[in-house]
Amino acid sequence: DQQVKQNSPSLSVQEGRISILNCDYTNSMFDYFLWYKKYPAEGPTFLISISSIKDKNEDGRFTVFLNKSAKHLSLHIVPSQPGDSAVYFCAARGSGSARQLTFGSGTQLTVLP
């Protein structure tokens, strides 16, 4: 039972354009959402997060949008750069006493020069 789903295994975008990565979740008890970026042979790196009480969080070129009614999360990267090419994981934190993260399966973003 996948509680966090990233339905697009891969995405290609031209340099300078917008990249939109999507994530859906099923558990309405998640209270915090995070995006991680992962380069080959490295561990995931925290990118940006959003609390369930907000609908948008922005950090430079990265913006995360949360639509609670649709149980949908998206990461926008504008403008996209070749160095953004990586696997992006969305993760959701449980709101109970055990606040572990549940990860999606990841989306490989390729930014073409």
Partner 1 sequence: DSGVTQTPKHLITATGQRVTLRCSPRSGDLSVYWYQQSLDQGLQFLIQYYNGEERAKGNILERFSAQQFPDLHSELNLSSLELGDSALYFCASSRLPENTEAFFGQGTRLTVV
> Footprint of partner 1 on this chain (CB under 8 A)?
4, 6, 9, 32, 34, 36, 41-46, 49, 89, 91, 93, 97-106
Q: Shortest approach of partner 1 to residue 79 CB, angstroms?
A: 25
CB of 5 to partner 1, least distance (A): 9
In terms of CB distance, is 86 or 106 closer to partner 1? 106
Closer CB to partner 1, 70 or 98, in the complex? 98
Its sign, for the CA torsion 93, 99, 105, 107, is positive
Q: Are 111 and 52 in contact (CB under 8 A)?
A: no
Q: How far is CA 81 from CA 10, 96, 103, 110, 113, in A?
A: 16, 38, 25, 9, 8
Nearest-approach distance from CB 15 to partner 1, in angstroms = 27
**What single letter denotes the amino acid at residue 1?**
D
The single residue listed with the structure tokens 């561990």 is 43
For partner 1, the closer of residues 43 and 113 by Cβ is 43
